[in-house]
Amino acid sequence: MAPSGVWARTLGLGRWQLAPWASRRRVRPVATLSAARAQCEALVYRKHGDPLDVIQLENFKLSQLGDSDIQIQMLAAPINPSDINMVQGTYPILLDFPAVGGNEGVGQVLEIGSKVTNVKRGDWVIPSDAGLGTWRTEAVGHVNNFIKIPNTIPLQCAATLSINPCTAYRMLYDFESLKPGDSVIQNAANSGVGQAIIQIAKDMRLKTINIIRDRPDKKQLSDCLKEMGADLVITEEELRTPEMKELFKKVPRPRLALNGVGGKSATEMLRHLEKGGTIVTYGGMAKQPVTIPVSTLIFKDVKIRGFWMTQWKRDHGHGALHTRHVQGIVGKSLSVFISAAVAHFAAVHLLCAIWFAAGDDLPAVWLHSSREAEGANVH
């Protein structure tokens, strides 16, 4: 797995741009606003299965604008693993058919209903919950289903704001009462969540031990994560060596472990937790179970927890509380420049294949990948 992807309509150009390596494809202007009000272009699936087989680019009917609705033009939307899982039918949240893919993104308000007072034309908004279907050119929905954000945020950061940084923020604050100087250990450190954890932890004055896979460009990736604020960057192999004892002379043993991988990686992090510490699992990119040594439970009394951002929103409400939550993260002015969301390399090429297979007479797409984030959610 490698970089994640974001597709975006370039502001002010009124057309779709494609990456340079695909610039030979013919680019068709997007429909005029008057026509787009009745329908949009969207990546639609009518049954579950392999995204390559079931997703089609279609003209998709828009709902009529109601008094409390807003109509938005999607500016950018990431490809997350959960988006792919929803298309496959393996995610806890499944949409009615026909469904539009994508749960995250940023849009610009085009029109507002007569009773809408808290946003105006031109404002940027993000969905407050999953299910909008963000892989489309435009969308209509109730104003309460969106959160207004500043339009000064870099576009790709705005498009990936509501899942990864929020997940990182909640895990750092909700499971252990951490104080400055405490340490946190995490795997998948170069994923979207991992990069957000590094930056938020730095703001909290916490130490981070960050685990990545071994790779030829390990030093380049390590330097990049350290520029974000990582204190230590080690490989999965180094995590299993006796030399880890020396590492804990530089930083205290972690009270919190954050697991986005599963399998042996999670087990090794458990071995290094402080007595009474907590491991929180938010992903399982290795597709292997978390194995917990009996001795770790008995003699270290570690706590095993899980986290799902969608469930947190259900438990705490999707309205004002979550809005303040997102705005609080924005207000920290952290350099969460995770220019690509947590996504599979295969997912990027999935959409390329869909659009390329559809022929020339469709809007091209700009796919951005960050060299620094290469390998995001690599497990």
Tell me the catalytic residues: 91
| DSSP bridge partners of 149 | 124
The H or E element spanning position 110 is strand 106-112
Length of the chain: 379
> For tokens 């997007």, what's the residue?
30
CA distance 225 to 191: 11
CA distance 254 to 116: 47
Smallest CA-to-CA distance from 291 within 257, 265, 253 is with 265
User: Is the separation of the CB atoms in 329 and 165 below 8 Å?
Assistant: yes
User: Is the separation of the CB atoms in 50 and 126 below 8 Å?
Assistant: no
CA distance 275 to 279: 12
CA distance 41 to 79: 17
Q: Count of H helices and E strands in the chain?
A: 14, 15
